[in-house]
Amino acid sequence: MTLSDHAHETLRRLTERVDLQIDLALRDCGEDAVHDLRVSIRRLSQALRIFADLMPPREAKRLRRRLKPALDAAAVARDLDVGAELQSREGLPATHPLMAQMKADRDRAALALVGHLYLLRSEDVPMKWLEAYRSLRTVEDDAALTARRWLPPMADEFFAAGRKTMLKASSPQRLHAFRLAAKRFRYTLELFAPFYGPVFRSRLSQVREIQALLGKRQDCAVAAGRLRLLADQDEAARDCVILVEARGAKLEVDFRTYWHQTFDAAGQALLLRRYLTRRPPVNRRTT
């Protein structure tokens, strides 16, 4: 398969997935639908970023920007969903005023998201992009061999970013930035998964684990910040923020342990680079 064929097929599939998730979110803007919508948009956005050179100048950026308002609105709803669940798990009563306020904010966020989705629908976005994908620049390079040129340097950059994160003092902002890097790296790997074997899925799951640990850590940081605003005057909020911060600290320890003992253990970076670089097997016709 050529790189152009792979890019066209991948963009088509991811675009259709976003379109489906828009339909589902318009029917029911619940927690699962919002989460799935965000993931589908992020995957398509990363594909547009990776294959941008096959499109007219700045076209991929324009398409990604068109989805950003809906993505941002979904992020607000998702943060409120996760925050309410986390605070409830750590003992904040369902009758607490903060929980009521967050529910009201969630209702408003859902309305805002639905408005953005109806606007996309009125313009037939993203499905009208399928026609544009047919005019991608023709590149006859083999897609599997292209993956073996592109992915190893990306893996090197990811390891370097992780090691830099490990060396410096922890902060929610720094960990969140690396979490976003993990998310982009994971989605990029997924774009080329068809050209690798079973070991690739194992490597992909390791990146997903890093993203998951840091995602939960970020959820704790956001919830703790919300609770701290009330902690001086509210005993329940004060007790809850202590527990949320403790959970966040443990998740950070879990992340660092996983990084040092599993993902970036001795020799792992070299093994991943060699695996990503290894040429695909040649299919030999038997007689």
Percentage of the chain beyond pLDDT 90 is: 94
Task: Please compute the mean of the pLDDT values over residues 64-88 and round it to a whole number.
Answer: 98
| pLDDT greater than 50 at residue 89 | yes
Task: Please compute the mean of the pLDDT values over residues 253-275 and round it to a whole number.
Answer: 97
> How far is the C-alpha of 206 from the C-alpha of 129, rounded, in Å?
33
Least reliable range by pLDDT among 24-38, 117-131, 231-245, 267-281: 267-281
User: In this structure, what token pair is assigned to residue 69?
Assistant: 């308002």
8 Å CB contact between 195 and 224 = no
Average pLDDT, the chain: 95
Which residues, at least 6 apart from 59, have a Cβ–Cβ distance to it below 8 Å?
Answer: 52, 132
Task: Report the candidate in 182, 173, 171, 192 with the shortest Cα–Cα distance to residue 212.
Answer: 182
- Torsion region of 267: left, alpha or beta (phi above 0 gives left; psi -120 to 50 gives alpha): left
> How far is the C-alpha of 41 from the C-alpha of 205, rounded, in Å?
20
> How far is the C-alpha of 12 from the C-alpha of 127, rounded, in Å?
9
pLDDT confidence band for 287 (50 / 70 / 90): very low
pTM above 0.85, yes or no: yes
What pLDDT score was predicted for residue 125? 97
What pLDDT score was predicted for residue 282? 62
What pLDDT score was predicted for residue 286? 43
Domain range list for the chain: 1-134, 141-278
- Choice between 281 and 207, residue whose per-residue pLDDT is larger: 207
- Torsion region of 58: left, alpha or beta (phi above 0 gives left; psi -120 to 50 gives alpha): left
Q: Is the dihedral of CA 10, 11, 16, 17 positive or negative?
A: positive
Q: How many residues does the chain have?
A: 287
Question: Which residue carries 């939960």 as its tokens?
Answer: 216
> How far is the C-alpha of 263 from the C-alpha of 279, rounded, in Å?
23
Q: What single-letter DSSP state applies at residue 278?
A: S
Tens digits of per-residue pLDDT, 126-185?
A: 999 999 999 999 999 999 999 999 999 999 999 999 999 998 777 889 999 999 999 999
pLDDT confidence band for 280 (50 / 70 / 90): confident
What pLDDT score was predicted for residue 281? 66
User: In this structure, what token pair is assigned to residue 135?
Assistant: 């005019």
A 10 A CB-CB count for 221 gives 20
How close are the terminal C-alpha atoms of the chain, in Å? Answer: 24
Q: Would you identify the CATH topology of the domain 1-134?
A: CHAD domain (1.40.20)
What pLDDT score was predicted for residue 17? 98
> How far is the C-alpha of 74 from the C-alpha of 77, rounded, in Å?
5
Task: Report the candidate in 141, 154, 214, 162 with the shortest Cα–Cα distance to residue 190.
Answer: 154
